[in-house]
Structure 1
């Protein structure tokens, strides 16, 4: 991109960061994604070609290092890149507090499930393999069912039936589940209002909200 022609450090920083998708790629790297396919899951609407281009730009700017090990490429933030955590966290908090009104185009089941998977508190889950199915209303059938599998201290999300016994099924619209994850509404309020249903044995049904929790966004105070 062309520069701003200003000595201001904000202008110089934005010459690197204000191209479309760039800060979201940094967000994904800060969240722990380090391989190309992991990054793609965090920005599912970004084309692979554009992701490759942005990664090259960030590498040239000294924000990331690219390493090849055994034929597999790994991307790691440099000291410069890790320092952007304060920028991303500040934008995250500002967006939660002051930018509302999610449109239909803002709702993405791929990103929601990926973000849930990587932010679970595994310590809240049973030690044995546990599967929770999500049935999403109001979306295309191809993305309406998801399986969250937690086993051996790790979590995985599948858009196909992995063939394991299901402990619980969460039925919700994509919008309502997104609102819960963002912290716009609590599990208790959503369940009480009937917007979300959990099908499971009684002991499990009461635990599912604790297992799933909410995203980090839910901890950000909203304006009065």
Structure 2
């Protein structure tokens, strides 16, 4: 049976109104959201509205997913490398502990992990398993850590790195093409009985065409019989 996962990443206090509107549109469709949250060094002031909103979303069935700790440049990030892309086990473990302490301080505990830019080093995976995480998802699939099992499914969205062919120079034509591709790829995955993973970033919510395309993809998946789940349930079935 086909499944549908919708995740939302990169929200801040500033982008929260757009994120809330998108989540409400999904509520109307009976779709819970996997909320990808990066706590950073939370000081009790920044992100306070967002944290309160995440508490409410959790009560409505959304999954809270740790999305790294601090994406800013530093020892864990070289150039454009993502935060957990190349960390050895020990360093990854330290950052995971810091992130979980920060989450615990605001009562947002989770055992689910999605690395920044969907890239996790082998050391990160080892550290996740040692610290009792039950799931992580990367670019190509959803992986269980508490038992054997993985689901092969590519994450879909509007990132330029996900484009499969050159796009037109005209920005509007390129944008329209990306929106069409998302809807078409989600429909294709669902027809094949797979897991359609749609990720929407806060920056995508600034573009009405992308919001409309994401909701159109959700509607197409539901109409084709896909069952909406969050990352908490996504890895329950082993891939063939």
TM-score, structure 1 as length reference: 0.25
Taking structure 2 as the reference length, what is the TM-score of the superposition? 0.24
- The structure number with the bigger radius of gyration is 1
